[in-house]
Amino acid sequence: MNSSFTTFGVRTPLIAEADDLAGILIESANRSDAGGFLEDDILVLAETALATAEGNVIRLDSVIPNEESEDLALKYGMDPRVVEAIRRESDAIVGGIPGFLLCMKHGTLLPNAGIDASNAPPGCVVPLPSDPDGSALFLKKEILHRCNVRIGVIIADSRTHAMRVGCSGVAIGCAGIPSVLDARGRSDLYGRKLEVTRQALVDNLASAAEVVMGEADECTPAAIIRGLGIPVGDQQGIEVIDAKDCLFMGLLRKD
């Protein structure tokens, strides 16, 4: 892997349901400083843009909260309809603070089960894409078909971290590059063998892309990372660990 790479922001028109997302990304990439997609580029795409194009949007006027959602909304100062949508997307509600619920979803702790109101159409909230790995693979194949270049694709979300202020990027889906790089067996500066260290490659790249993509009205839901030096292959998916083996999840288990 090269020690340096370049990240280009990709501005797009406002993305709507049923848009040709691959076509929009190709045209926008051609207009960007990247000058289009090149072999072994990595496309990072915000999950909200993907979910919107795929029609995975919740219209709040169609949501009827039940009594439990009303109670949680009162306790945490939230819109009961949003709480109902969050509960439907969650495996369990762990707790919360004003404005947010801490949820379990697919074995991961997520604020509001990943549901986002920012950059969502008016009166709507956007849940996480239903199959981010599959969507990443689809975009990878479409860009290969239309541009004749092999690229990696990362679907990115922004997350907060315990005891820290601010958000950073995290990958929720990928295709074409490994999700982690294994450093076990390598030596540190003093010759000691690394036993557990693995670099979260796609999470780190998602965070690098967040710097040029932004979180507000930049209309830059994508980025191209170039020069990383990792050939695109057939890898797909984010490597995860079971909740029982996770240090942080262990704090929530009731023995």
Domain residue ranges of the chain, discontinuous segments joined by + = 6-55+129-250, 58-124
Reference 233, options 147, 174, 155; nearest CA is: 174
CA atoms within 13 A on the CB side of 82: 22
State how far the Cα of 213 lies from the Cα of 118, in Å rounded to an integer: 14
Considering the four listed CATH numbers 2.30.30.90, 3.30.1330.100, 3.40.630.30, 3.30.43.10, the one that applies to the domain covering 6-55+129-250 is 3.30.1330.100
CATH 3.20.20.70 fits 58-124, yes or no: no
> Residue 250 phi/psi, 5° resolution?
-60, -30
232 has a pLDDT exceeding 60: yes
193 has a pLDDT exceeding 70: no
Q: Which residues pair with 48 in a beta bridge?
A: none
State how far the Cα of 123 lies from the Cα of 87, in Å rounded to an integer: 18
Q: pLDDT tens for residues 31-68? A: 999 999 999 999 999 999 999 999 999 999 999 999 99
116 has a pLDDT exceeding 90: no
Q: What is the CA radius of gyration of the chain?
A: 19
What mean pLDDT is predicted for residues 231-237?
88
- Residue 221, CA distances (Å) to 74, 114, 247 in order: 33, 17, 33
- The pLDDT of residue 142 is 98
